[in-house]
Chain A
């Protein structure tokens, strides 16, 4: 188990009387694409928030890259190489697409010399390539806030990729994106995983997408881990089907 990039061990989190996560354990091995599914309100985003340090957990431990991160805060965890995207897309609205990527360049480049200096030319090339990769090159001078929701999602994805994280947590990357763009996004997720070597941990409601790309899937229901396995095993798991269809 210790070889996994991310290890979540018996994590619980309650909000008042609501148990959002109860005793959840899972692991994300390096280089894989891991899925996290479950009906609305099953605690997926809460788990993401716990992992990235957005709020403290009640019990359990979270290890990233063999380092205990349970007590660390969001920016500290981000600097270790774990980034997340938001379900409600978050971009820098009054900055251009290029600027959004410029400020997302790897933090190793945020040294004292670079902070007070215009962005360098080779960085610009990488930024243009990344914008072309997500299909936003033609929009690069527009303010990010003027983009459509789907385009903002792609921009947020590009911002995460250009930061070169070890692990990227994606919260519903395809929600609100039109079906044609979704196909493109699936390809891009695979490229990010295989060619850029970024391990992905994805919350997704679109079953076609998650079954298509995930190596291993965890399913939550009512804050508890319901099932796990390969996409085939999950598809045929009666408890998962019941959870989604609301059987008693």
Chain B
């Protein structure tokens, strides 16, 4: 992609809610999905650690934000923004605590270890009166006109997705990205070369939690009602989707989760509209087809199909890196 492609894409994102006014909520939700996929890919794609429990950070952020909005006494906008920040902070703390315990395990053991996280968190939240227990929490009403609500959330989430995308692009280009790639390829070798593997692994999870916690705080407000099991710690929906989106697009590639999220979200809504009652079946079939025929995801398939283009790009990148 050339620079003007990025500019065009950016402009398209800016005008999208105005040319498609009926789909504003869905478009806002699309940015949530992109952040979910991008943050899962930090561990799942770049580091080779499949986490099935990342949904916990989403839910922690959601609750932290909602509690702050309920109890702070601030007006809507400052309470929301500070709340989302706090959501990120609490999610990061959760990741630091869990990371030191779980990231000592490798490969499948880590994956299984994370499997119960979302379930346990949902049960705990469902039994805690301070955060509404089983009846959940309702987020404050948007103060302005209802029509502006979705536009506001669209741009809020767009901004955070952009921060996430550019932040990850920067991280992956530095030694941090190289280190987590090394852990993916051969963790024993990385250790024998003296790399502080555990430190990198926990840091990577904390970044993942930051992006999820902040977007979780916002997503709770977009949805309007926080149910402990069906919204906040919803493993079967958001928790699984973030993995599917990253794999669909091509895990371990910066653009993979973005492409995956867009394709996934659109097909999901399409199925919901056209095949009501069978939408989950259709989605399941689609996932099976993707895993069977595109195991490396859409972008991975393209890279295999047009290897010369990928190789030329690698050399160009290299030259521009040396020039800068």
Give the B-binding residues of A (Cβ under 8 A).
52, 74-75, 78-79, 83-84, 86, 90-96, 98-99, 102-104, 107, 109-110, 114-119, 121, 124, 141, 159, 163
Contact = CB atoms under 8 A, between A and B. Distances in A.
B186 A116 contact: no
Given A75-B191, A116-B171, 13 more contacts: A52-B192, A74-B192, A75-B194, A78-B194, A90-B189, A94-B185, A95-B185, A103-B178, A110-B196, A116-B175, A118-B173, A118-B174, A163-B193
B182 to A, nearest CB: 5
A115 B192 contact: no
Contacts of A94: 181, 184-185, 252
10 contacts: A74-B191, A91-B189, A94-B252, A95-B185, A98-B318, A99-B181, A103-B179, A115-B179, A118-B321, A159-B193
A55 to B, nearest CB: 13
A141 B317 CA distance: 11
B267 interface: no
A170 to B, nearest CB: 13
A43 B51 CA distance: 39
A88 to B, nearest CB: 11
Contact of B318 (A83, A86, A141, A159): A141
Given A75-B195, A118-B321, A92 B185 contact: yes
A181 to B, nearest CB: 22
Given A84-B192, A141-B311, A124 B322 contact: yes
Given A90-B186, A118-B173, A104 B193 contact: yes
Contacts of B174: 114-119
Contacts of A114: 174-175
A116 B170 contact: yes
Contact of B176 (A91, A115, A121, A163): A115
Interface in B174-217: 174-176, 178-179, 181-182, 184-186, 188-197
A194 to B, nearest CB: 24
Contact of A110 (B171, B175, B184, B189): B175
A103 B175 contact: yes
Contact of A75 (B185, B196, B311): B196
A83 to B, nearest CB: 7
A83 B181 CA distance: 20
A103 B194 contact: no
Contacts of B273: none
B253 to A, nearest CB: 11
B194 A83 contact: yes
A93 B186 contact: yes
B314 interface: yes
A234 B296 CA distance: 54
A96 B314 contact: yes
Contacts of A119: 174-175, 178
Contact of A163 (B184, B191, B194): B194
Contacts of A103: 175, 178-179, 181-182, 190, 193, 195
Contact of A92 (B181, B192, B311): B181
Nearest to B172: A118
B315 interface: yes
Contacts of A95: 178, 181-182, 185
A55 B174 CA distance: 32
B197 A75 contact: yes
Interface string B286-324: 000000000000000000000000010011001001100
B182 A115 contact: no
Contacts of A163: 193-194
A59 B194 CA distance: 25
Closest 6 CB pairs of A and B: A78-B194, A92-B185, A103-B178, A90-B189, A79-B194, A118-B173
A22 B170 CA distance: 51
Contacts of B191: 74-75, 78
Nearest to B252: A94
A74 to B, nearest CB: 5
Contacts of A118: 173-174, 321
A34 B208 CA distance: 47
A128 to B, nearest CB: 9
Nearest to A141: B314
